[in-house]
Chain A
Amino acid sequence: MLYREAGQFKTSYQADQAIFPIAQDRWFVWGLVAFGFLVLPLFADQYLYTEVLIPVLILSLAAIGLNILTGYCGQLSLGTGGFMAVGAYAAYNLALRLPETNLIVVFLFAGLMAMAVGVLFGIPSLRIKGFYLAVATLASQFFLEWAFARVKWFTNYAPSGSVAVGKLELFGMPIQTPMEKYLFVLAIVVVMTLAAKNLIRGRLGRMWMATRDMDIAAEIIGIRPLYAKLSAFAVSSFFIGVSGALWAFLRLGSWEPLAFDINRSFQILFMVIIGGLGSLLGSFLGAAFIVLMPIFLNQLPGILGIPMSTALISHLEFMVFGAMIVFFLIVEPHGLARLWAIAKEKLRLWPFPY
């Protein structure tokens, strides 16, 4: 009843090719963005900012990056953590060595450096495929993690190997309080999501998807696999690099290479798959799910008033987490985004079943 596209006629190609052809979708997204910028800051407390909203947004960005590579171009990667580290350390070094650089430039630089490294490590994808490639991307993960722990220049010769960022500001405005950080992250994420959406809708995205669905067939119809795959690696790494820099600067503040270890790679892969391969919405849903799930499980016994030892809670958390993943895969292998799509289908007919 409420969600119905009947009567919305498209009278131009432009309207037909809009990001959200259905008016309700458009309103919904505008509403969501407005809610994020205007309403949430009215009531959110610090914990909600620093431990829920900021991590979810930043990791969503990383998940979008991985989704471009894995979901849209079909190249499974386990090196996300390493590329995030490239972004983080690139940003750190630029901010350290040229302190006057604008923060936006710093993050762009982080993305570009990650992009360069990503293309370099993407070259083997031209030869190897599937799980072989997945394991090969682990090479980049371990190598990068090692490089940032060992090459002293990257950490500015810090004796502890742990680096920290100073005070952040943008065009003279400080980015210090959780709310300022949140708004900054939100703005970047919104802009980059829009960019991702348009890339995917365009020529490049179609090339990626053709390559994903069958690379030989794609090659035969004239798509150069070299260009398609490497461009996917480049764009994906750019997103991941920016998210790594955001994670380091706005979430952690001070970090060591361990913050970008193999578990981070797995975490983001989980997000992409639980959320839905080949779906931008899925990246957000997956990130929210993976970030909130442990927090929720951790607090559940306390809320229900069941006394439980911390160790048991933590073990149970592992078990429930594992079981949830299996459960989700069995019920809906295409992820939360697919559930959302089904919900929309149902909503279209609601309240009349036919």
Chain B
Amino acid sequence: MLGPIIETLIGGLLTGVLYALVALGFVLIFKASGVFNFAQGAMVLFAALSVARLSEVMPLVFAVAIAVVIMVVLAYVIERLVLRPLVNQEGIILFMATLGVAYFIDGFGQTVWGSDIYKINLGIPKDPMFFFEGVFPGGILIDREEVAAAAVCAILVAGLAIFFQVTRTGRALRAVADDHQAAQSVGIPLNYIWLIVWAVAGIVAIAAGMVWGSKLGVQFSISLVALKALPVLILGGFTSIPGAIVGGLIIGAGEKLAEVLLGPILIKTFDLAGGGIENWFAYMLALVFLLFRPQGLFGERIIERI
């Protein structure tokens, strides 16, 4: 019994890393501009579609390079046409605007790139690895692609940490995140910062899109992974990068364990038509956490004044 549990735990943690990759994009934008960017899922789809279709005609490296350019242009367009006219609006209005952007990008991406299933081949073998076959019957199964995804995520987080801590732009970003007005008054151009943040989120979307795309195939449904990233966000806190990672791990492991261990018990007890509790388990888990820490695990303390 221990074997399957460990296996599910590892599988869940690795899936959690994938969730964290998407959640990272949300956090970056929310931190710097206070926008709850629902279009992150659509951006992941768009980035993955770009890489997949471009890599059909050129080597993967070039495809990724061009995709980076595309995402930066996209960030510029969004900043210019959507965010700038909506400056100083309430959060909910900005949130709605990103929903609109998400629809637009979904349609635009499929118009330009097509709506078939496309492939991204990262050259990772698909067959699983088995460990500890002597200890547990059947061994412990680990998916190579997910290990690669975890590696990508680690590199990305390290890169972002360096970017935020060391570079001038990164420091400016942190200043904006702390206090918009103070940052502006010391001469940090907000528009420029937003452009940078959206571009960085776009690049994170490329990474997420490539990993998800290689795993699932690049297709419309990828944009729905955004919904999987939401409980990660509330669990980890909207403004915390470590929160996104830790939240991703907890959610990933929690929902897989729940499905495999709790699912069959629930089905037996209540005579259900099949399991599938992972669909809501992540949200419930996050909700329970929230009742004790309303700002998420690593979120900033909410101070209210009149």
Contact = CB atoms under 8 A, between A and B. Distances in A.
Interface of A: 76, 124, 127-132, 135-136, 138-139, 142-143, 145-146, 149-152, 161, 214, 216-217, 220, 262, 266, 269-270, 273, 277, 311-312, 314-326, 329-330, 333
Contacts of B91: 130-131
Contacts of B90: 333
Contact of B107 (A143, A146, A319): A319
Contact of A124 (B36, B86, B290): B290
Contact of A325 (B97, B108, B272, B279): B97
A124 B287 contact: yes
Contacts of A273: 92-93, 96
Given A142-B283, A150-B273, 17 more contacts: A124-B287, A128-B294, A138-B231, A149-B276, A150-B274, A150-B275, A152-B272, A220-B306, A273-B96, A315-B111, A318-B104, A319-B103, A319-B111, A321-B104, A326-B97, A326-B101, A329-B96
B218 to A, nearest CB: 16
A256 to B, nearest CB: 12
A331 to B, nearest CB: 9
Contact of B304 (A146, A161, A216, A269): A216
B92 A76 contact: yes
A322 B283 contact: no
B249 interface: no
B151 interface: no
Contacts, number: 149
A82 to B, nearest CB: 10
B104 A322 contact: yes
A70 B119 CA distance: 42
6 contacts: A135-B283, A146-B276, A319-B103, A319-B104, A325-B99, A329-B96
B238 to A, nearest CB: 7
Contact of A333 (B89, B110, B274): B89
B291 A127 contact: yes
A270 B92 CA distance: 11
Contacts of A138: 227, 230-231, 283
Nearest to A325: B100
B125 interface: no
A324 B279 contact: no
A125 to B, nearest CB: 11
Contacts of B276: 146, 149-150
List the 4 closest A-B pairs by CB distance, nearest first.
Answer: A318-B107, A322-B104, A325-B100, A322-B103
B283 A143 contact: yes
Given A131-B36, A270-B99, A322-B102, A152 B230 contact: no
Nearest to A330: B85
A231 B234 CA distance: 25
B5 interface: no
Given A124-B290, A220-B306, A152 B295 contact: no
Contact of B103 (A124, A135, A143, A321): A321
A135 B291 contact: no
Contact of B287 (A131, A139, A146, A318): A139
Nearest to B105: A322
Nearest to B90: A333
Interface in B284-302: 284, 286-287, 290-291, 294-296, 302
Interface string B63-106: 00000000000000000011001100111110111011111111
Contacts of B271: 152
A32 B273 CA distance: 47
B201 interface: no
Contacts of B85: 330
A138 B81 CA distance: 30
A108 to B, nearest CB: 28
B277 interface: yes
Nearest to A76: B92
A140 to B, nearest CB: 8
Nearest to B39: A322
B115 interface: yes
B270 to A, nearest CB: 7
B104 A216 contact: no
Contacts of A76: 92
B32 interface: no
A323 B284 contact: no
> Which of B91, B102, B103 has the most CB atoms of chain A within a 10 A radius of its CB?
B103
Contacts of A262: 227
Nearest to B110: A315
B231 A135 contact: yes
Given A136-B290, A319-B103, A325-B103, A146 B279 contact: yes
A136 B93 contact: no
B233 interface: yes
B130 interface: no
B82 to A, nearest CB: 5
A139 B286 contact: yes
A138 B224 CA distance: 14
A49 to B, nearest CB: 28
B283 A136 contact: yes
Contact of A312 (B99, B111, B275): B111
B277 A146 contact: yes
B274 to A, nearest CB: 6
A321 to B, nearest CB: 5
A142 B230 CA distance: 12
A333 B100 CA distance: 13
B163 interface: no
> Which of A124, A129, A320, A333 has the most CB atoms of chain B within a 10 A radius of its CB?
A333
Interface in B228-259: 230-231, 233-234, 238
B246 to A, nearest CB: 17
Nearest to B81: A326
A128 B292 CA distance: 10
Given A131-B95, A150-B273, A326-B101, A136 B286 contact: yes
A114 B23 CA distance: 32
Contact of B101 (A124, A149, A322): A322
